[in-house]
Amino acid sequence: MWPFESSYPQRRPSELQAEYDYIIVGGGTAGCVLARRLAEERKWSVLVVERGDARDGWLDKSPLFSTYQFSDKKHGVSLQARMWEGKKVEVLGGKGLGGTSRINGMQWTRGVPGDYNAWGESGREGWSYDTLKPYFERAEGHWNPATLTHYGRNGPLQVEAPPQEYRWGVTREIVDASEQMGFALCNDVNDAKLPSSGCFLLHLSTSEDNYRSSTFRAYLPKAFALAHREKLHLCTNTVTRKVEVEKTASGTLKATGVIIQDAKPGSSTRFIAARKEVIVCCGALTSPKLLLLSGIGPAKHLQEIGIPVVHELEGVGSNLQDHMGTPMSFYAPIWDTWVALFLKPWWLIWQVLRYLIFGVGWLRDYYMETSIYTRADYLDENMDQKQLTEKQRDATLPENIPDIEIMFGAVCDIMHPGYDKTKGGYNLLPTVLRPQSRGTVRLSSSDPLDPPVVDLNYLSAPADRVTLRTAARLALRLVATMDARGYATSPIRAPALDASDAELDAFLDADTQSFFHYSSTCRMAPRDAREPGVVDDALRVHGVPNLRVCDASVFPQIPAAHTQAPVIAVAERCADIVKAAAK
């Protein structure tokens, strides 16, 4: 009990051992999972190097105030990325133990089975849905499940089913309108037996104690970290400058360890050796950056930056994929949306008290509770869903992966010029789920403290613009249907329902943004594939067998889902692969 309670066991670079069996670079969404699974064996020494901290106060745990947009921003990293010529957009990453899982929207969406069956059909052995399903279940601690047939009950990460009643009045109207348009209401977004097209209620990674369930809190809570502190060392507020890779006497390459430094500029560096493996878990924007800093990547780029080429690997930092789209905002009755929290101070005070005393209310509930998933070719000329064939209803088939999501949020930007503060508002976010455009991550310099150069290259593939237009028209048609049903919802910022392609493009070009689901920059594929791979099916960097990558960067193709659950499942499987290799 405080003040005698032990603090969370963090270490500085000067306090580390000279070598460890495993070095995990990045204690984010995937890194915490790997650290837990390797440390619980109690026979290996494990080091986690994380650039952020281990702070876990009330603001870091509450579902509202830990979300990046409403937080103190300490656990997020923001930088500007190129969308296309002359247009930039903000991109975000997590910082601190738990990484992005501590600041994200908490959606727990596995993706349809067809996503992973497509990986398997492309030659990725061991990555089909039937293989990954047990890893989703191993992670899940589903504490109020709507069904027990396909969720884990005993996993570290707590997952909550949607409530029986809608939190927001506008959600009910959206669901009713979507059903009128032919989209069936699906209560469980992760039920593999359901078709991939419909209006889905979303599960969240929130815990039974009414807090966010990040991988930090779930996999590396203080009790576990203290119990394993002899073998598990957590080095926070520390930057990894590079992975040292050397040529062995037999001519092969081996990762020998990492060079680290305190996150403060000008700090001294230290080399820490790895007896077995180095595993990079820095996320899809930073993992390729670290490989490039280590001399692994496209030779031409490394030479331009002045970094010696240790291992030429063309795919590093290429094939960047992301879910992008364009928010549209509309008015609605104030008490039907989350906006009342910000426009009615007395209501905010009341909700804070309800949350602090009883753990209920609007501060616990999240503003996204439903999404429409579908395919452009499932829509007729009026944007209604066509009658699906039995084959089209089979979500295990790769050809049925959804390529459109209409995200819904019961909140909007009340600072928009001219906003009528007597009304509530909500957003619809038309999203391209299966982008054909590919971007890059490159170095800006050889200094690890400098941000990478991120080129998202949105809409460079003409098919993506066609899909985004279709998604936007579906969102507008949904609002028109709500209006026709008697629910008046006038636009705050949205194009007209009958907008021409040129008018719609002008709106999309002005407001398209990232939804922060970066992936595939160290993709799992052969190194000589059309889109060059960086890691093999065991997540080993091609040509460096004791160097692995484990995060969203290894996805062969971005799943049609919010990426938290897929990253955790990949990390759970990676842990088994690593343990099997050590036997």
Residue 377 carries which DSSP code? Answer: G
Q: What Å distances lie between residue 441 and 104, 170, 311, 533, CA to CA?
A: 22, 39, 17, 15
Residue type, 43: K
Q: Which residues are annotated as a binding site for FAD?
A: 100
Residues 6+ apart with CB under 8 A from 304: none
d(CA 199, CA 108): 15
d(CA 307, CA 247): 17
Q: Which residues are annotated as a binding site?
A: 100
**Within 13 Å, how many C-alpha atoms sit on residue 39's CB side?**
25
Residues 6+ apart with CB under 8 A from 147: 188, 191
Three-state SS for 437-491 is CCEEEECCCCCCCCCCEEECCCCCCHHHHHHHHHHHHHHHHHHHHHHHCCCCCCE
Q: Tokens standing for 329? A: 């905002």
Q: Is 233 a catalytic residue?
A: no
Active-site position among 75, 228, 233, 562: 562
Residue 524 carries which DSSP code? Answer: B
Give the containing element (helix H, strand E) for 256.
Answer: strand 253-262
d(CA 527, CA 534): 6
Query: CA-based angle 188:193:197, to the nearest 5?
Result: 70
Give the containing element (helix H, strand E) for 293.
Answer: helix 287-293
Active-site position among 75, 228, 517, 542: 517
Judged by DSSP in three states, 88 sits in strand
Judged by DSSP in three states, 45 sits in coil
d(CA 217, CA 98): 8
Q: Is 228 a catalytic residue?
A: no
Closest CA to 575 of 1, 194, 184, 41: 41
d(CA 284, CA 133): 23
Q: Which residues, listed in sequence order, are joined to residue 535 by a DSSP beta bridge? A: 524, 541
In this structure, are strands 269-280 and 19-25 parallel, antiparallel, or unpaired?
A: parallel
Residues 6+ apart with CB under 8 A from 283: 26, 28, 29, 93, 94, 99, 100, 518, 551, 552, 553
Q: Which residues, listed in sequence order, are joined to residue 331 by a DSSP beta bridge? A: 425
The answer, yes or no, to whether the previous bond of 3 is cis (omega within 30 of 0) is: yes
Positions marked active-site: 517, 562
